[in-house]
């Protein structure tokens, strides 16, 4: 199958043409990331992804991880690839320089993550989870704990996990049963079973640092009684050397639909020694502070796989000769025309592009806000960015992963029967993409987060962080020559979003089920408008540059923007109707009738 090539041209377009990367470069702490450095990082990341990670993607899927008496072995080549990856500094790219990291802004790191996911999602899970554990420790642990654990996690010598889910609960962490008993020396004895722990056990690093949610003996009920603990696989001496094995063991690994080279572990904690991270009973807020970054990253998994699937499908469509154009043969000297002559094949490929390029732009829009809220000098600016991020996070996570699954499926469909055969690699993208709609909060939970927590937050102030700039843009450009054709469909969809928002807010106050019933469709409507805004802005730039378009980049942008407005954005109407239907019908069904 076709070799994946990182879409650097489009990435640069988003970074520096659609947005102004100087804004980020000028933030305190980001000064080193000049345009030249950013370019070099992207080139290097592309190289390691294309040359080191990509070749292991299929073989990793075929071989999978194996478990033997608590020991987990990753597929052939993963250990060496991980070594290369860590030595290249990629495990610490977004980490604090104080602990040895590179301190790259999310705006840059999001693009690196995209390439990792395009070439080997299973591999990317190991450093990805590690970064999550790093971030939780970095934000909430004492300096002593940070000094002990972070440098080696940043260097990739050790990895990390997030141990949340238990057999009886995933979404509803308030009912976890894992316990933490205080010991006299200030440590805790952690006991319980955690499931679905990505990278819980493996052979890539010398130690594994588990972050574990558990309940103290005096814990209040529910989510307000959850504390966060750090539990190393091997005890760590004060000099940093490794001591005894802790009482935590991998009981088994799951056999999954996809991401087979990523170990998904049952972890048994049997009086394992751990230390409290942050304050007692404050485990959930600690989780939430890192969740925005994580959920953007999971969204990007959908995008990364979608990009890989597009590239595979486009190459196949070009090479495969099959049938004739409806308007008469295009390659009369050949046995058949290429698949690219068929409108329906173009429809599929352009749908993929509209999703991928639109998601990439929107992802960077949110990543920029993450950097602004982290680094900006002005508190007011930071707060505004934070509000925007809070609002957009569930949308990015759910929309990108739904589209990622759809896009990988389109890629497979373009291949016809060959798409269903493992050898071609297209069906792996589908299987790998499927998990992203589920983990890190199912997409249904994202939708509830949007309507339940984010919509009404601060009397609608979160919403205004999105609505105001979009409204301004529409008012300014709706009658522009040329650009108006792109802005008018956006305006129509935006009006539906505003109406739906008002309606849900009003109905939801009387009956929360009304908000719940509308949640999924509302999130999608919101996402369509947000990406529509990105496409209008991309069209604006492409219109301006179309006279200086040697490689046809801007022409393709304009066509794809138009395609989005004509073929995808009109879904807003159907979503609006579904939202308006309310909760009455679905709640009328007797439980026994299901």
Neighbours of 580 (CB within 10 A): 15
> β-strands 248-253, 234-236: how paired?
unpaired
Q: Choose which of 15, 349, 369, 500 interacts with a second copy (CB under 8 A).
A: 349
Site for a second copy in 58-97 (CB under 8 A): none
Site for a second copy in 235-254 (CB under 8 A): 254
In the DSSP assignment, the letter for residue 91 is: G
Q: Interface with a second copy includes 520 (CB under 8 A)? A: yes
Stretch of 21-29, 31-39, 240-248, 440-448 lying at the interface with a second copy (CB under 8 A): 440-448
Q: Give the whole-angstrom CA distance, residue 136 versus residue 139.
A: 5
- Applying CB under 8 A, the site for a second copy has a residue count of 97
**166, β-bridge pairs:** 169
| CB 327, min distance to a second copy, A | 6
Backbone φ and ψ of 440, nearest 5°: 60, 35
Q: Interface with a second copy includes 336 (CB under 8 A)? A: yes
Q: Choose which of 40, 71, 235, 574 interacts with a second copy (CB under 8 A).
A: 574
Residue 92, SS3 per DSSP: helix
Q: Give the whole-angstrom CA distance, residue 424 versus residue 172.
A: 39
Site for a second copy in 541-560 (CB under 8 A): 552, 555-556, 559-560
Stretch of 203-211, 232-240, 280-288, 564-572 lying at the interface with a second copy (CB under 8 A): 564-572
Q: Choose which of 323, 461, 495, 505 interacts with a second copy (CB under 8 A).
A: 323
Q: Interface with a second copy includes 109 (CB under 8 A)? A: no
Site for a second copy in 189-228 (CB under 8 A): 195-196
Stretch of 28-36, 85-93, 288-296, 310-318 lying at the interface with a second copy (CB under 8 A): 310-318
Q: Choose which of 258, 404, 411, 532 interacts with a second copy (CB under 8 A).
A: 258
Q: Interface with a second copy includes 486 (CB under 8 A)? A: no
Q: Interface with a second copy includes 537 (CB under 8 A)? A: no
The answer to whether residue 50 is catalytic is no
Q: Choose which of 29, 58, 513, 541 interacts with a second copy (CB under 8 A).
A: 513
| CB 476, min distance to a second copy, A | 25
Structure tokens of 162? 């997030």
Q: Interface with a second copy includes 570 (CB under 8 A)? A: yes
Backbone Cα Rg of the chain: 24
Site for a second copy in 157-186 (CB under 8 A): 165, 168-172, 175
- Return all residues near 315 (Cβ < 8 A) that are at least 6 apart: 1, 2
Q: Choose which of 343, 460, 469, 484 interacts with a second copy (CB under 8 A).
A: 343
Give me the catalytic one of 113, 201, 307, 440: 440
Evaluated on CA atoms 571, 574, 577, 582, the torsion sign reads: negative
| CB 588, min distance to a second copy, A | 5
DSSP string, 57-79: HHHHHHH--EEETTEEEPPTTHH
Q: Interface with a second copy includes 35 (CB under 8 A)? A: no
**Residue among 472 and 566 whose Cβ is closer to a second copy:** 566
| CB 401, min distance to a second copy, A | 11
| CB 22, min distance to a second copy, A | 30
| CB 578, min distance to a second copy, A | 5
Q: How many residues does the chain have?
A: 594
**Residue among 188 and 563 whose Cβ is closer to a second copy:** 563
Q: Helices 343-375 & 553-563, crossing angle to 10 degrees?
A: 100
Structure tokens of 350? 């352009």
| CB 264, min distance to a second copy, A | 8
| CB-based burial, 29-65: b 16+ in 10 Å, e otherwise | ebeebeeeebeebbeebbebbbebbbebbbebbebbb
Stretch of 82-90, 110-118, 268-276, 583-591 lying at the interface with a second copy (CB under 8 A): 583-591
Nearest to 390 by CA among 468, 460, 454: 454
Q: Give the whole-angstrom CA distance, residue 248 versus residue 269.
A: 5
Residue 594, SS3 per DSSP: coil
Neighbours of 170 (CB within 10 A): 16
Structure tokens of 523? 């999130």
Cα 403 to the center of its chain, rounded Å: 12
Q: Choose which of 186, 239, 326, 550 interacts with a second copy (CB under 8 A).
A: 326
**Residue among 191 and 571 whose Cβ is closer to a second copy:** 571
* Residue 496 CB-half CA count within 13 A: 27
- Return all residues near 327 (Cβ < 8 A) that are at least 6 apart: none
Structure tokens of 591? 């439980």
Site string for a second copy, 441-480 (x = CB under 8 A): -xxx--xx---x----------------------------
Q: Choose which of 8, 145, 242, 340 interacts with a second copy (CB under 8 A).
A: 340
**Residue among 148 and 496 whose Cβ is closer to a second copy:** 496
**Residue among 274 and 419 whose Cβ is closer to a second copy:** 419
**Residue among 138 and 507 whose Cβ is closer to a second copy:** 507
Q: Interface with a second copy includes 332 (CB under 8 A)? A: no
Q: Give the whole-angstrom CA distance, residue 258 versus residue 493.
A: 36
| Alpha helix positions (H), 91-229 | 106-140, 143-155
Residue 265, SS3 per DSSP: strand
**Residue among 113 and 406 whose Cβ is closer to a second copy:** 406
Q: Interface with a second copy includes 338 (CB under 8 A)? A: yes
Q: Give the whole-angstrom CA distance, residue 38 versus residue 31.
A: 11
**Residue among 58 and 374 whose Cβ is closer to a second copy:** 58
Write the secondary structure of 219-235 as one string of H (helix), E (strand) and C (coil). CCCHHHHCEEEEEECEE
**CB of 339 within 8 A of CB of 317?**
yes
Q: Interface with a second copy includes 419 (CB under 8 A)? A: yes
**Residue among 369 and 515 whose Cβ is closer to a second copy:** 515
Q: Choose which of 187, 191, 413, 546 interacts with a second copy (CB under 8 A).
A: 413
Q: Choose which of 427, 455, 487, 500 interacts with a second copy (CB under 8 A).
A: 427
Q: Known catalytic residues?
A: 440
């Amino acid at each position: 199958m076709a070799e994946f090539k990182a879409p650097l041209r489009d990435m640069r377009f988003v970074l520096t043409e659609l947005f102004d990367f100087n804004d980020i470069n000028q933030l305190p702490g980001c000064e080193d990331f000049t345009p030249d450095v950013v370019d070099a990082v992207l080139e290097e990341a592309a190289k390691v992804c294309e040359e080191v990670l990509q070749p292991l993607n299929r073989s990793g899927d075929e071989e999978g991880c194996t478990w033997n008496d608590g020991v987990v072995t990753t597929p052939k080549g993963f250990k060496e690839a991980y070594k290369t990856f860590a030595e290249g500094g990629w495990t610490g790219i977004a980490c604090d320089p104080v602990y040895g990291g590179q301190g790259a802004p999310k705006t840059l790191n999001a693009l690196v993550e995209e390439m990792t996911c395009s070439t080997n999602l299973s591999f990317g899970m190991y450093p990805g989870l590690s970064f999550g554990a790093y971030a939780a420790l970095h934000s909430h642990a004492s300096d002593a704990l940070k000094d002990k654990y972070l440098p080696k996690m940043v260097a990739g010598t050790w990895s990390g996990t997030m141990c949340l889910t238990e057999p009886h609960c995933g979404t509803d962490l308030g009912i976890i049963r894992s316990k933490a008993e205080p010991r006299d020396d200030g440590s805790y004895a952690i006991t319980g079973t955690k499931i679905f722990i990505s990278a819980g056990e493996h052979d890539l690093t010398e130690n594994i640092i588990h972050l574990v949610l558990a309940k103290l003996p005096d814990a209040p009920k529910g989510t307000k009684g959850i504390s966060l603990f750090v539990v190393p696989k091997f005890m760590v001496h004060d000099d940093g050397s490794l001591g005894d094995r802790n009482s935590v063991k991998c009981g088994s690994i799951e056999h999954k639909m996809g991401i087979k080279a990523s170990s998904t572990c049952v972890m048994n904690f049997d009086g394992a020694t751990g230390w409290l991270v942050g304050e007692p009973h404050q485990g959930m807020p600690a989780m939430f502070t890192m969740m925005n970054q994580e959920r953007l990253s999971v969204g990007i998994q959908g995008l990364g796989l979608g990009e890989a699937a597009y590239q595979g499908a486009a190459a196949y469509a070009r090479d495969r000769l099959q049938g004739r154009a409806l308007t008469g043969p295009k390659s009369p000297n050949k046995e058949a025309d290429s698949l690219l002559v068929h409108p329906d094949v173009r429809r599929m490929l352009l749908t993929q592009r509209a999703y991928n390029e639109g998601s990439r732009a929107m992802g960077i829009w949110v990543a920029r806000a993450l950097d602004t809220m982290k680094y900006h000098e002005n508190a007011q600016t930071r707060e505004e960015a934070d509000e925007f991020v809070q609002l957009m996070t569930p949308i990015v996570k759910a929309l990108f992963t739904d589209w990622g699954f759809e896009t990988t499926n389109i890629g497979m469909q373009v291949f016809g029967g060959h798409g269903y055969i493992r050898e071609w690699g297209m069906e792996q993208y589908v299987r790998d993409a499927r998990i992203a709609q589920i983990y890190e909060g199912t997409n249904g939970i994202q939708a509830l987060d949007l309507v339940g927590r984010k919509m009404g937050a601060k009397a609608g102030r979160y919403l205004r962080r999105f609505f105001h700039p979009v409204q301004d843009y529409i008012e300014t450009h709706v009658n522009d020559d040329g650009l108006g054709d792109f802005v008018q469909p956006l305006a129509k969809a935006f009006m539906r979003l505003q109406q739906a928002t008002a309606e849900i807010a009003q109905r939801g106050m009387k009956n929360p089920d009304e908000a719940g019933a509308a949640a999924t469709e509302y999130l999608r409507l919101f996402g369509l408008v947000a990406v529509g805004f990105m496409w209008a802005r991309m069209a604006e730039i492409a219109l301006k540059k179309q006279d200086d378009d040697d490689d046809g980049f801007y022409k393709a942008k304009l066509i794809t923007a138009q395609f989005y407005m004509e073929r995808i954005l009109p879904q807003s109407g159907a979503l609006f109707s579904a939202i308006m239907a309310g909760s009455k019908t679905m709640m009328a069904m007797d439980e026994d009738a299901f």
